[in-house]
């Protein structure tokens, strides 16, 4: 059975247009509340959000839904997604909810759900909630309606937890760090955590007004943070996205460092200290071949999954890995978080900067990326990847690349687009191959 509401990362859409509205949020609360009412204890749910204007509406509707089914609600206000996962587990809650559309513009919003263990829900749980959303709600008797309260110490709990993710001997004294919070969920906690460890923090994107989240700031709009690092003579810059589960680093020269180089750095340190489990790292099909070759040189493996941090996390849990991530900046350190955490990853990078005493441009360049090219082909319908001409073009491209390169063809999960990515040691060859496959897909479409 296909999904009607949930996508690859919860429910997401344009607010008050289509599915993402107050009515849907209340139905989610009622359905999830019914699904997670298990046992005789007083049930509770933790709800957090980012800084979008629509967060007030979605939060109120979720509170109505959950309390109507007999669940007590604990609201934290704006906090990163990983903080909600953490607090859900710490408070022995039955469920956690994050209201966010991550790196999307403010007009969008979303609902992410976490189980009592702090991990995102399984496909089975999401399908069960979808089924309950299509049925009449299971309302509590009047005497058993839930209560709602807002807690004031949630920020402090999270700051304490992320600081514990690095050694107690580490201080950031003398470091000038630009911290770009995208006017999003981490606008208070990320600068505070880094400042408490001794750094001089140069804040950027820390003045949310409800409509400026991710607007020309943050991990998907890097020009402002790059310029700020150079202008201020900072040692490093940190760019988070709207819900702070993603990180991009900027070196002292104003150059962006992606998730592949960060995984290489963190894996190296964890391997040296014998804290890396699973024999390597989990990443997606989009991670650069250069990362795979670098890890192989350390005697470590790279396991690849489909694009999406939930698939990375699933493989990590199956294989006993404690480090994984995406080239786009999701970093999962399972020893400290149950989901991607940009602030935890940032502290790991900063700790290495202190230990190694090297400039960020050197510290975060552990391998030369193999030339990689990604192009998108938009199509109106049908199944162009099933066409024989496309299959033949893909087979020829794979044969031409051989063992020295990779070809990844995948349909987008959010729009009618086929993504064509190739990488290999010869940049000109890679470009020719991508263009040929794109032409075949375009002709078939």
What angle do the packed helices 342-356 and 189-196 form, to 10 degrees? 30
Q: Tokens at residue 32, please?
A: 């999830």
Q: Is 125 exposed, middle or buried (0-12, 13-18, 19+ CB in 10 A)?
A: middle
Residues in CB range of 442: below 8 A, 6 or more apart: 377, 379
What is the pairing mode between strands 44-49 and 72-78? parallel
Q: How many CA atoms does the CB half-sphere of 228 hold within 13 Å?
A: 24
Distances in whole angstroms, Cα of residue 358 to Cα of each of 107, 228, 266, 355, 395? 41, 21, 15, 8, 44
- Residue 192 falls in the annotated catalytic set: no
- Choose, from 102, 165, 192, 219, the residue flagged as catalytic: 102
- Residue that the structure tokens 């263009």 belong to: 435
Residues in CB range of 180: below 8 A, 6 or more apart: 204, 205, 217, 218, 219, 224, 225, 228, 237, 238, 239, 240
SS3 content of the chain, % helix, strand, coil (to 5): 40, 20, 40
- CA-closest candidate to residue 215, choices 203, 224, 202: 224
* Per-residue exposure over 248-276, b if at least 16 CB sit within 10 Å of its own CB, e if not: bbbbbebbbbbbbbbbbbbbbbbbeeeeb
Distance between CA atoms of residues 434 and 421, nearest Å: 7
Q: How many CA atoms does the CB half-sphere of 168 hold within 13 Å?
A: 1
Q: Tokens at residue 353, please?
A: 């900067």
DSSP letters, 124-160, are HHHHHHHHHHTS---PPPGGG---EEE-S-HHHHHHH
Distances in whole angstroms, Cα of residue 141 to Cα of each of 46, 61, 67, 326, 339? 22, 19, 11, 46, 36
Distance between CA atoms of residues 145 and 136, nearest Å: 17
| Distance in Å from the first CA to the final CA of the chain | 27
Residues forming the active site: 102
């Amino acid at each position: 059975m296909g999904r009607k509401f949930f996508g690859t990362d919860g429910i997401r859409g344009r607010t008050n247009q289509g599915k993402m509205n107050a009515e849907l949020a209340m139905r989610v609360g009622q359905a999830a509340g019914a699904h997670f009412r298990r046992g005789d204890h007083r049930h509770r749910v933790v709800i957090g959000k980012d800084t979008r204007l629509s967060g007030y509406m979605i939060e109120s509707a979720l509170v109505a839904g959950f309390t109507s089914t007999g669940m007590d609600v604990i609201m934290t206000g704006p906090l990163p997604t990983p903080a909600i996962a953490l607090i859900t587990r710490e408070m022995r809650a039955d469920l956690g909810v994050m209201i966010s559309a991550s790196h999307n513009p403010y007009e969008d919003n979303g609902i992410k759900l976490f189980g009592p263990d702090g991990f995102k829900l399984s496909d089975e749980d999401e399908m069960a909630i979808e089924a309950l959303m299509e049925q009449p709600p299971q309302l509590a008797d009047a005497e058993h309606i839930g209560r709602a309260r807002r807690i004031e110490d949630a920020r402090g709990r999270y700051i304490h937890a992320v600081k514990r993710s690095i050694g107690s001997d580490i201080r950031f004294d003398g470091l000038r760090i630009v911290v770009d919070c995208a006017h999003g969920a981490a606008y208070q906690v990320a600068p505070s955590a880094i400042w408490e460890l001794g750094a001089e923090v140069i804040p950027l994107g820390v003045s949310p007004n409800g409509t400026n989240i991710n607007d020309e700031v943050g991990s998907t709009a890097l020009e402002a943070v790059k310029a700020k690092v150079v202008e201020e003579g900072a040692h490093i810059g940190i760019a988070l996205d709207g819900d702070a589960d993603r990180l991009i680093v900027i070196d002292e020269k104003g150059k962006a460092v992606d998730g592949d180089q960060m995984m290489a750095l963190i894996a190296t340190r964890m391997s040296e200290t014998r804290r890396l489990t699973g024999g390597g790292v989990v990443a997606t099909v989009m991670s650069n071949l250069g990362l795979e070759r670098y890890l192989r040189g350390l005697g470590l493996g790279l396991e690849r999954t489909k694009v999406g941090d939930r698939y990375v996390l699933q493989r990590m849990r199956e294989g006993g890995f404690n480090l994984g991530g995406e080239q786009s900046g999701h970093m999962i350190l399972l020893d400290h978080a149950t989901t991607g955490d940009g602030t935890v990853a940032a502290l790991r990078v900063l700790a290495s900067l202190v230990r190694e005493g090297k400039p960020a441009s050197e510290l975060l360049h552990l391998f030369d990326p193999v030339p990689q090219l990604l192009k998108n082909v938009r199509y109106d319908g049908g199944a162009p990847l099933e066409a024989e001409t496309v299959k033949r073009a893909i087979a020829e491209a794979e044969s031409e690349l051989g063992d020295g390169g990779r070809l990844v063809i995948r349909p987008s999960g959010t729009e009618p687009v086929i993504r064509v990515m190739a990488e290999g040691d010869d940049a000109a060859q890679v470009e020719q191959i991508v263009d040929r496959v794109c032409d075949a897909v375009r002709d078939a479409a």
